[in-house]
């Protein structure tokens, strides 16, 4: 079973190509966000890994659920369920510019790749607990894949 991750050049390029295929009128299959909001949301999630955005502390119950979810996703190589709740800081419910959001996401994705190569990813995530480079690159791939499927690419 292949566990795709952003540290693999082929998987990384696949994600870049899929983002590049999006347009301002790409229709969604589910969810509340439009394509521009989704791009901005994905950019914010990557910024957490780059320590440019700090998530709030969560209680022990949610932390335990997050750790179990991380393990389950890795063991079963499953995706993220639709309409999952997210941190308030990561919710994009405002209008944004499509071209700017797409460009910014691609830049942040490249910055994430460089941080991986320099071993500069955090060792902890508020929801998922202890994190390795393998965890970050796998979970970030899964997150991007989830939202790109949301817009049929």
- pLDDT tens, N- to C-terminus, the chain (153 residues): 889 999 999 999 999 999 999 999 999 999 999 999 999 999 999 999 999 999 999 999 999 999 999 999 999 998 888 878 899 999 999 999 999 999 999 999 999 999 999 999 999 999 999 999 999 999 999 999 999 999 999
- Note whether 20 and 85 are within 8 A (CB): no
Q: Rounded to the nearest 10 degrees, what angle do helices 9-20 and 133-150 cross at? A: 30
- Note whether 42 and 51 are within 8 A (CB): no
Give the count of beta carbons closer than 10 Å to the beta carbon of residue 122.
12
Q: Which pTM value belongs to this model?
A: 0.95
- Note whether 50 and 111 are within 8 A (CB): yes
**φ, ψ dihedrals at 129, nearest 5°:** 75, -145
Q: Residue 108's beta-bridge partner residues?
A: none
């Amino acid at each position: 079973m292949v566990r795709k991750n952003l540290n693999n050049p082929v998987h990384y390029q696949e994600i870049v190509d899929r983002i590049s295929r999006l347009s301002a009128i790409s229709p969604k299959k589910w969810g509340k966000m439009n394509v521009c909001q989704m791009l901005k949301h994905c950019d914010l999630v990557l910024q957490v890994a780059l320590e440019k955005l700090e998530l709030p502390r969560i209680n022990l119950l949610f932390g335990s659920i997050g750790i179990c979810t991380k393990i389950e996703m890795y063991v079963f190589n499953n995706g993220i369920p639709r309409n999952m709740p997210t941190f308030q800081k990561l919710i994009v419910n405002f209008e944004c510019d499509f071209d700017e959001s797409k460009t910014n996401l691609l830049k942040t994705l490249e910055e994430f790749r460089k941080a991986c190569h320099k071993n500069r990813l955090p060792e902890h995530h508020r929801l998922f607990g202890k994190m390795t480079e393998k965890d970050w690159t796998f979970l970030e791939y899964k997150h991007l894949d989830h939202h790109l499927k949301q817009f049929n690419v």
